[in-house]
Amino acid sequence: MVETDGWLAPETPEDAREQYESLGATAQVVTREVAKAMSFDREEYSERVTDEVVETARDALFASLLEVHDGSREAFEERHEGFDGEVEVLGSENVDRVVWHTFDGEAIAATYQNEPEAARGTLRRQAFGRLYRDVL
């Protein structure tokens, strides 16, 4: 059985850019609310909350929403048996579970034995860095 977590699954670089851009306003709101919770006054906010900070928030939001499939090693291998693109697997071959994400003809996967949430988080960060960063 394969479980799916997350909902962001762009199929093309254009889809990815569009979905990434749509998170800009959300990233600004999140950043502003975090700064407010940290009691930044107007001057400190202007000084510390730069475009780079908001962009980092958007990167993190995008990555955290990526669709991730989680299943047994056998389920992963079945799914990618006929896959024509490149599949990069991170982790040990000696564990039972795999999480994976596919984008634009490429797939990245990470193996794990326990801690599915940690594996999903790691995979999302790796997927963002390896599959999306250059596109976005």
Query: Chain-centre distance of CA 111, in angstroms?
Result: 16
- Paired with 98 in beta bridges are 71, 111
Cα–Cα distance list, 19 to 4, 10, 22 (Å): 19, 8, 5
CB 106 within 8 A of CB 85: yes
**pLDDT values of the chain reduced to their tens digit, one per residue, 136 residues:** 899 999 999 999 999 999 999 999 999 999 999 999 999 999 999 999 999 999 999 999 999 999 999 999 999 999 888 888 999 999 998 999 999 999 999 999 999 999 999 999 999 999 999 999 999 9
- Reported pTM: 0.91
CA angle 37, 24, 53 (to 5 degrees): 50
Query: Which residues, in sequence order, are CB contacts of 43 under 8 Å at separation 6+?
Result: none
Using a 10 angstrom Cβ sphere, with 0-12 exposed, 13-18 middle and 19 or more buried, the burial of residue 20 is: buried
